[in-house]
Amino acid sequence: MKTTLFTKKIFIAALIGMTIALSMTGCSDDKEKTPAAKPATVAAVHNPFDHSHDTPVTDIQKHKFEHDFAKQCVQRELKHSTNKEADAAQYTQPCMCIAKFLMKDLTAEEAEKFIGEHKNAQSLVIKYENAAYHCLQQNAHPKGPNFSRAPQVN
């Protein structure tokens, strides 16, 4: 009997508490709310973590980047080559593919750093790895052994 009375008191207290809490949230001040002042355009706000193309890269910069990067790529590959003439012809096409792939998503800062300062931005290094994977996957791979068939006995 005692637990029944105790449970009823807790229930009534919880019901009153919820009623007060709900009625308090319905109260508001008499002041009229004014919307916060927003910038005139969303594009005017500069977000340093957004790598959108704030300043466009000109076609001349893209073209110069493409050829400079391809030339640097071939030179890097030929550094330890023994037959430089034959390897230069072999590396020209994949390096140009990588340069074109990088050029598609080139930002003005990356172009300025590469062309003007002759430095590779960290973002270019990351993009290079992705471009190299993309371009080198286009080449046909040698056919591997076929383990699905049973060996034939002669």
For residue range 113-128, list pLDDT tens digits in order. Answer: 877 777 777 888 888 8
Cα of 7 vs its chain's centroid, Å: 57
pTM, to two decimals:
0.52
For residue range 1-28, list pLDDT tens digits in order. Answer: 556 667 888 889 888 988 888 777 665 6
Percent above pLDDT 70 for the chain: 66
- What average pLDDT score do residues 42-66 get? 67
Cα of 119 vs its chain's centroid, Å: 21
- The domain locations on the chain are 59-136
Angle (nearest 5°) at CA 114 between 106 and 62: 45
CA distance 116 to 123: 16
Instruction: Give pLDDT, residue 50.
Output: 56
CA-to-CA dists, residue 86 to 64, 97, 128, angstroms: 25, 19, 24
